[in-house]
Amino acid sequence: MRRFAVGVTTVSHQLYGTFMRQLSSSLFEWDEEDVRLLREAKRSELEGKRGMVGLTDAEVSMSLTKRELALHCRRRTRGAAVTERLVGELIETFDGEKGHDALGIPLLDHDRIQAIWTEQRRHLHCIQDPPGVSLYTKTGQLTKGGVTLPVFRCARGSTLLESFHLHLNRFIPGDCANAIHFQAFLLDGLVRWNENRAAAAVEGPAQPLLCYSGHQQHSLNQLAQEVLGQSLVKDYTKPGEYTGELIGIEYLYLQTGRVLQDVSLDPDTPDEAAADIQGLDVGTDAEDEGFQEYEDPTVHYSAPSPIPSAARSGDPADTPLSGPSSPAAPEACPQSPVVLQDLPRATTPQKQEDSELFRGPDGQPGYQHVTRLAGALVALRGLESVPETTVDELVRLWSALTDADKGRLVYPSRHQDRLVSGRLKASRSKTSVVAGKESLQRCLLGQASGPANWPSASRLVEAICSQLCRLHPTGFLSGGVRRTRWTAVLADYIHIRELVLDSPRLMAQTTLQLFELNQRTLSQWFSRRERERAALEQAVAATPIPAVASQPLPLPRQLLRGDEVSGQLTEFTSVTPKDNSRHSTQQERTTRAPIPATLAHPATLRHPGPALHRSPASPKSHGRQRGAAEREIPVFRRLPSGSLVLNPSSEALKLCAPGASGGRALFRARKPEEVEAAARAHVIATGGDPGNAELVLSHSSIEFGKYPGQTFRWLLENDVGYAIHLVHHHQWERESSSSEGPLMANKDALTRYSCAQPDILELVKFHRAQEVARSRASQPGHEGAALVGFGQFKLDSLRELYESADRSRIDYVKRLRRKTPQPGTQMDAAVRYIRRRDQERQSSAPQLAASQPAAPRPAGPTPLAPAISALLGRRSLSPGELQAKPEPSDAELVELALGVEEKEERPQQSFLPPGPAPQSAELQIPESWRGAFSREQQEWMGRELFTRNSAGNTVLTTDLRLWWYPPQPRPIFSQPPASPAAFFACRLFLWVPHRMWAFKLTCAQPGCKRPLTKAGLYKTIRRVLDIDGWYLMATEYLECRRCQKKVAGWSQDVLNQLDPAHRCQFPAILTYKLSCDLRVVRLLRERALGNSATQLYTKLCEGHSEAWMRRSMQYLGECKYFLATGSERRAFPPPPPMPPVPTPVWLLNVYCYDVLSRLDEVKARVTSTFGSILKMDSTKKVTKKLAGFAADTAAWATNVGNEFGQVLISVLTSAEGEGLLPMAAGLMQRYRIAGVAPPPAHVRFQRLLLLSWRIKDGCRVP
């Protein structure tokens, strides 16, 4: 049909809609029984809701909507011969004189339409429905007008594949992805899509168990069959062996000659090529339509547009798509004098007309009485009031109306009578516009008038408007200004309405309902009526509605039962897929990941350059063109160095001077609306753009503080220091208050305008960081947490500056040692801190030397400082970095740790318990583990996990389990907590499959296959990201005695040898640097509206922050009770900082790695999908996301679906046509290998090839 539409001269032609409707009727015919049942339900509904009785079948059929026909009726193709005859007659009719409109413009281009018809008539047999195959499935039923109607879902059409194309853009997150990530996202999304469609094809309620892992489902069912004799999970798509078909990027690379690189590499491996994934937030450019749509956009239904009076039904589907505008006051227009003789007289005989039956446009009788009353009301437009004789005449005419015209009107609905059932509770329609919603909102919030309606809501109002339109056929001139005809029509109607409402006797004896109209409702009503009459004026016979088939259609399919689905969807024995993914655990990495800068912790702020402020503006920047842009940006006062001047200007000092304005008067803060209105008026008066929000803010006045009445821009130009103080104080105030008063609103506006200036924003950030650092530095023993606050390294803390190994910072410290600053300044505090640290270093050197053991040591001096720095630095590293960092000997680490810890704990000796004895439990854990745990964690782990044998050696306990939980803090403390470690301890996951379950594991080296033996515990402790925190993971070390290769217990070579019941207990995905729990990865697997890696990152940050704050409050709450009132503050150690959450890019990399690690299983599930009705469609949009070497190489993404909406194959191609032959051959091979009968029905879509197993009448088919 779209190809025939190419042959028209213009789609705006008056006969275009009629031609497309008759073309659809030439192709399809409806089932007679379904149409009869729907017509009966519609007639019952019209009689019950509108009181419309005595309607014929034709009149009821005209009120049927396209959605109702598609939802409750089945249709089929007419056959090639009948279709050829009907389409030929239709083209012959519209290609002649009957195809011309009122202006003589032809609908069809003769040469073009004849060429199209010559080409397309050869393919008519390709689009026919296969005989004996039902394309409809009965999905349910509903009651309409007391009649139960079936609900059908049609397998014809490309709606399901188009919906898959919509979701395909969400499977691939962001704007671009390289080939490996694109392949992973496509495969995982394809499997989940097919599983959802298979579940929807089964009759009955939705299953509460939701799992997309075919391997786990199949393994659970196998165990349940062996133990219980029954299956526990409905496995809709049993995975078989992977057939070797190329999917996605692999198919594209076959055409382009490229090779897809290894897709199982660790995303954190140092040697891996960087894979950029940009644009993490998926846009909301399209609505989530689900996988079912009732309206086929490729076919024009035979049902006509609703009749003008259909808007009275109250059905939202019958209302116009765009809501009317708010009722506007009509403008005066010249009126012709009307005398009372224009009214119809009561003495005029109308017996002949009364005896005959007159039907209106809606098919209801009594329309002659409506037109008489409308004419009498129109005659009132020249009167100032209604005379009594005229009232008697109007009452008489009103009494002659039918009961339906006298009854109460039912206006078009402006609400939804039920909640939508789509995903995210969103409508599945292509537009979210509710007719009349805007007008209703405007009238409720604006002037005191009701919402406007369309004239078709009442036959009387429609007749009045028709007569007024005849009286005003064109516009007119009023005072030299051209007025539209709708102004005159609306003015007359409103005058008539006011006369009726102002007549008490007329309103008491009648129930006339003349509702609100406006120019938009009038023009829309008139345009719809003219469009409907345009086709009738061309003498083109309308097609019977709807065209029903003479023979009944095949019975619809029924939804599959749970015990049938396996045999219907797959008919072969499933085989557990083999996992060939690789994972390396021994690779080294020496670089550390950058710590993300945050505002909360000043230690994480890094100085971006030589100065925090911008460089001074050049003379050209100050001499830029005058305009609105300059007025909205303040002109800051700067020092010669380029930094902002924080002190108030002379103008500001004058305003603050005592008695400057005769005393400070009381100042009332105005409402935000008043402030904005005054600022907008000032902008308009000065020639600015009132739509520029920042310009309006710059002229908003301050309603508080030292400078009330001054503008925001004036404040930033005259007193930057005070503005920074206000913004910082308001941000702190907003964190603890949700007030919405005028004062807080004014402060909000000032904060928005100030923070929009980059210079002010940087100063506010620095001010907040300085306050946080100053608060930490006020605690005893933490003086070094204060920021430097001046000079080149103003964002560094004093401790960072002093302990830095950077040459520039070392030279800066040397210069400060020689300074003699003014007392009380920030430089004075920095110099005093540096000198105190110098004294502590000199005094601690002899003590550190005396603490060395007497054991023989190698010749030469021992570099203590680097060793101490290495020891202290290891506590903040991740487990992967601990493995990669060179390690000193265990003896050096123990003795250095004892010396350093003794020195650090000396100031707190009076509050902390004495250190552990040499034989304490913490010394029982392996020495390589001690750097990753605090002393309290070492103690409980040594006590729980390890014991001593008879020889006194430390061994792992025999009472093994997977999860080990630290002891909880005591509910009541009798003495101050020694440290916050007990409140922030992490649980431990101990993975020792060889020791715990005695598995016989073999070496994975080719040609070896010797058993692996125990080789102790793995020295690296992994830190695993969880939903609300982190946990630790440890494992065993296994060794092959033959090839001397050692592997960790969590390597893929070991995990792949475990049976499914034990393999599923491993909870995480391990990468080289960090590790991630599977619960976090599952949150990324289903991406839809509002679900992206960035949003997951935000949720993780929120969960981690709440858990950290909860533990910190618990710790500080216990410390609070030991603060002696009036005595010196006790030096409690602060809570440890919260570890940062990995970035959204890392989360996507881990998710991608999870998919590619089970690649064969995913591919097997895709190639295990079949169908009896195949359809194919292509899209271009998703190919634009390919980045890297594969960018701009794919032209189409072609997908083949079945009748359930599942996708059998999805490939990216550089060209269609012959390029799809390997895909079609792979599908045929899939059916042959599985022993499934080939599908008897195939559907062709748009411009694509027809999938078929044979050649049809000269059509080239793969």
Question: Is residue 1053 included in any domain, yes or no?
Answer: yes
pLDDT the model gives residue 208: 61
Average confidence (pLDDT) over 490-494? 91
pLDDT the model gives residue 413: 59
Q: 1-5, 156-160, 373-377, 390-394: which range is least confident on average?
A: 156-160
Average confidence (pLDDT) over 48-73? 86
**Over the chain, what is the mean pLDDT?**
72
pLDDT the model gives residue 464: 92
Task: Give percent of the chain above pLDDT 70.
Answer: 69
Question: Is residue 1229 included in any domain, yes or no?
Answer: yes
Q: Are residues 362 and 403 in the same domain?
A: yes
Q: Are residues 1123 and 1254 in the same domain?
A: no
Spatial neighbors of 619 by CB under 8 A, at least 6 apart, are: none
Question: Cα separation of 173 and 1086, whole Å?
Answer: 11
Strand partners, 477: 482
In this structure, what are the phi and psi dihedrals at residue 1186, rounded to the nearest 5 degrees?
-65, 130
Q: Are residues 1145 and 1164 in the same domain?
A: no
**Which of 1111, 1142, 1157 is the endpoint of a domain?**
1157
Average confidence (pLDDT) over 123-141? 84
| H or E stretch covering 142 | strand 136-144
pLDDT the model gives residue 911: 35
271 — pLDDT class (breaks 50, 70, 90): very low
Question: Cα separation of 11 and 14, whole Å?
Answer: 8
The string of DSSP letters for 945-983 reads HEEE-TTS-EEE-SS--SEE-PPPPPSS-SS--S-GGGG
1050/1094: higher pLDDT: 1050
pLDDT the model gives residue 465: 92
pLDDT digits (tens, 9 = 90+) for 1125-1137: 444 556 778 888 8
Kindly report whether the global pTM for this prediction surpasses the value 0.95: no
406/1255: higher pLDDT: 406
440/69: higher pLDDT: 69
- In the predicted structure, residue 754 carries a pLDDT above the cut 60: yes
pLDDT the model gives residue 494: 92
pLDDT digits (tens, 9 = 90+) for 523-536: 888 887 777 666 55
Question: Is residue 808 included in any domain, yes or no?
Answer: no
- In the predicted structure, residue 1208 carries a pLDDT above the cut 50: yes
pLDDT the model gives residue 904: 39
Question: Cα separation of 408 and 512, whole Å?
Answer: 9
Task: Give percent of the chain above pLDDT 90.
Answer: 3
984 — pLDDT class (breaks 50, 70, 90): confident
Question: Cα separation of 986 and 28, whole Å?
Answer: 68
645/202: higher pLDDT: 645
271/1025: higher pLDDT: 1025
- In the predicted structure, residue 809 carries a pLDDT above the cut 50: yes
Question: Cα separation of 962 and 275, whole Å?
Answer: 35
CB atoms within 10 A of CB 520: 20
142/436: higher pLDDT: 142
pLDDT the model gives residue 436: 54
877/724: higher pLDDT: 724
Give, rounded to a whole angstrom, the gap between the first and last alpha carbons of the chain: 24
1178/777: higher pLDDT: 1178
pLDDT the model gives residue 239: 63
pLDDT the model gives residue 103: 82
- In the predicted structure, residue 1036 carries a pLDDT above the cut 70: yes
pLDDT the model gives residue 774: 74
- In the predicted structure, residue 116 carries a pLDDT above the cut 60: yes
Q: Are residues 514 and 554 in the same domain?
A: no
pLDDT digits (tens, 9 = 90+) for 236-253: 556 677 888 888 888 888
- In the predicted structure, residue 1025 carries a pLDDT above the cut 80: yes
pLDDT digits (tens, 9 = 90+) for 351-365: 445 545 677 777 788
Domains: count for the chain = 4
Q: Are residues 148 and 194 in the same domain?
A: no
569/114: higher pLDDT: 114
Q: Are residues 1082 and 1200 in the same domain?
A: no
Average confidence (pLDDT) over 1147-1154? 82
Q: Are residues 1199 and 1184 in the same domain?
A: yes
Helix axes of 459-471 and 485-501: crossing angle, nearest 10 degrees: 130
pLDDT the model gives residue 659: 61
**Which of 504, 537, 570 is the endpoint of a domain?**
537
910 — pLDDT class (breaks 50, 70, 90): very low
pLDDT the model gives residue 332: 38
Average confidence (pLDDT) over 1187-1209? 85
**Whether 280 contacts 174, CB under 8 Å:** yes
pLDDT the model gives residue 908: 37
- In the predicted structure, residue 624 carries a pLDDT above the cut 70: no
Structure tokens at 935: 């002393």
Question: Is residue 643 included in any domain, yes or no?
Answer: no
Question: Is residue 619 included in any domain, yes or no?
Answer: no
Token pair 């938009």 is found at 520
Enclosing domain of residue 127: 2-154
Q: Are residues 1058 and 1005 in the same domain?
A: yes
- In the predicted structure, residue 745 carries a pLDDT above the cut 70: yes
559/67: higher pLDDT: 67
1187 — pLDDT class (breaks 50, 70, 90): confident
Q: 6-15, 30-39, 430-439, 1216-1225: which range is least confident on average?
A: 430-439
- In the predicted structure, residue 542 carries a pLDDT above the cut 80: no
pLDDT the model gives residue 664: 45
Q: 446-455, 813-822, 1021-1030: which range is least confident on average?
A: 446-455
Q: Are residues 473 and 336 in the same domain?
A: yes
Q: 51-65, 399-413, 999-1013, 1063-1077: which range is least confident on average?
A: 399-413
**Whether 1174 contacts 1199, CB under 8 Å:** no
- In the predicted structure, residue 168 carries a pLDDT above the cut 50: yes
Q: Are residues 1151 and 1166 in the same domain?
A: no
pLDDT the model gives residue 432: 47
Q: Are residues 489 and 377 in the same domain?
A: yes
Question: Is residue 1176 included in any domain, yes or no?
Answer: yes
1033/1189: higher pLDDT: 1033
- In the predicted structure, residue 1146 carries a pLDDT above the cut 80: yes
Q: 78-87, 339-348, 639-648, 1003-1012: which range is least confident on average?
A: 339-348
Question: Is residue 523 included in any domain, yes or no?
Answer: yes
- In the predicted structure, residue 346 carries a pLDDT above the cut 50: no
Spatial neighbors of 312 by CB under 8 A, at least 6 apart, are: 50, 409, 410, 411, 412, 456, 457, 458
- In the predicted structure, residue 613 carries a pLDDT above the cut 60: no
964: left (phi over 0), alpha (psi -120 to 50) or beta: beta
Q: Are residues 977 and 1033 in the same domain?
A: yes
pLDDT digits (tens, 9 = 90+) for 546-598: 778 777 877 787 766 555 544 444 433 333 434 433 333 333 333 333 333 33
73 — pLDDT class (breaks 50, 70, 90): very high
Question: Cα separation of 1114 and 1119, whole Å?
Answer: 9
Strand partners, 863: none
149 — pLDDT class (breaks 50, 70, 90): very high
Q: 718-722, 954-958, 959-963, 970-974: which range is least confident on average?
A: 970-974
Question: Is residue 851 included in any domain, yes or no?
Answer: no
Strand partners, 990: 1034
Spatial neighbors of 873 by CB under 8 A, at least 6 apart, are: none
Q: How many helices (H) and strands (E) does the chain have?
A: 45, 21
Beta-strand pair 136-144/557-558: parallel
**Which of 1157, 1186, 1206 is the endpoint of a domain?**
1157
